[in-house]
Amino acid sequence: MNKKKYDLSLVIPVFNEQDNLNQLYDEMTSSCQKLDKTYEVVFVDDGSTDQTLDILVQLQKRDSRVRVIRLRKNFGQTAALSAGFDHSKGDIVITLDADLQNDPKDFGMLIEKIEEGYDLVSGWREKRRDRLLTRRIPSVMANWIISAITRVKLHDYGCTLKAFRRDVVKNINLYGEMHRFIPAIASNIGISIAEVKVNHRPRRHGKSKYSLMRFIKVVLDLLTVKFLMSYSTRPLQIFGIFGLISGMAGGIIGMILSYQRLILQQSIADRPLLLLAVLLMVIGFQFITLGLLAEILVRAYHESIEKRIYYIREIYESDSEKNSD
C-alpha cells in the first residue's frame, strides 16, 4: 500500500525530557488544530534513561497521529533528527526541541514562509532566555564564524525550530554534529532560505545538554562542512593548491641555492635553506599525493551504499500507520 501522506510532520528529538512531554504535546496539538492541516508527530527517543519512553508510548496510545521511534542508544541530536526525517511523511517538516523553549505557536509563521516559496525557514531566537556567558556569547561567536565560513548568513544556526519542504530533508545526509549546519549543507543543493524571529522561552524542567566542549566540536565540524561544501567532489583542488605552493617555494629556493653553488661557487652544504627547500618539495609532493588519494576515496564514497548513523530498537505507531508502510 502507498504510504499515508500528511500536510505537516513534527519531528522532535527527545533525550530525558519526561517532565516536558505532556505539556509539549498539548501545546503542539493546540497549535496544529488551528492550522487546519493534517499532521503527524514523530518523537525520536534518543536513548533516554528516565521515564521518557513510557510517557511517549502513552501519548501514542492516546493519539494515532503520534509515532515514537526508539533508538538503541544515545546517538546524539543529529542522528535523532536524521531518523525523524527518514520516517516522516509530511509535505512540510518542522523540527523543534522537547525542552519547551521552542514555542509551537510559531508553527503558523514558519509554514506561511514555506508557502511563500521558500524551501527552508529557520527560527531566530532574537531574545534568548539562556545564560549570557555559557550560552548566548558562545552562540553569537559561533553564528558569526559559521556565516563567515559557509557564506550562508543566519543569525541563529543553533535554533532547532525550523521548517523544511519534504524534498530538502530527503536530499541531505547528516552525521557528527551536523544538525546545526543544515541550512549551509542544504544550500549546496540550491535552495532558498528564510529566517524569521521566533519566541524563545526559559527552560522549566531538566538540564541543558549544552557544554562549552560542544563549541570546540562545532568548530571542527564546521571545517568538515566547509570542505564538503567546496571540495567534497574535487579534493585534489584544495590539497593540490597547498602542494603546488609548497613545491614551488621549495623549487625556487633550490634554484637560488643551485645558482649560488654552481655559478658563484659558494658552499651550501651547511645552509639551513637547503634543508628547507628539500622539506618544502617533499611536503608538496605529499599534499598532491594526498589529494589524488582523496579523489579515489570520494569516488568510492559516492558509489558506495550510504551508512546509517542510527539504529532503531523499536517503533511505536498505530495499526493504520503500519499498514500504510
Residues 257, 274 contacting (CB under 8 angstroms): yes
More confident residue, 307 or 10: 10
Q: Residue 100, by phi and psi: left (phi above 0), alpha (psi -120 to 50) or beta?
A: left
More confident residue, 311 or 36: 36
- Span 118-136, pLDDT tens digits: 999 999 988 887 676 666 7
Give pLDDT, residue 1. 42
The three grid cell numbers given for residue 113, joined into one nine-digit string: 514562509
Give pLDDT, residue 85. 94
68 pLDDT more than 70: yes
Residues 262, 254 contacting (CB under 8 angstroms): no
Residues 232, 178 contacting (CB under 8 angstroms): no
Taking residues 93-111, what's their average pLDDT? 95
- Span 203-252, pLDDT tens digits: 776 665 555 566 666 776 777 777 766 666 667 777 778 888 998 999 99
More confident residue, 12 or 321: 12
Q: Which of 11-15, 183-187, 319-323 has the lowest mean pLDDT?
A: 319-323
- Span 7-52, pLDDT tens digits: 999 999 999 999 999 999 999 999 999 998 999 999 999 999 999 9
The pairing of beta strand 6-14 with beta strand 90-95: parallel
- Tell me the pLDDT band of 145, cut-offs 50, 70 and 90: confident
The answer to pTM > 0.95 is no
Question: Residue 281: which residues within 8 A CB-CB, separation 6 or more?
Answer: 246, 247, 250, 251, 254
Cα R_g (the chain), whole angstroms:
25
Q: What is the dihedral of CA 48, 50, 51, 53, to 10 degrees?
A: 10
Q: Which of 27-41, 135-149, 280-294 has the lowest mean pLDDT?
A: 135-149
Give pLDDT, residue 133. 66
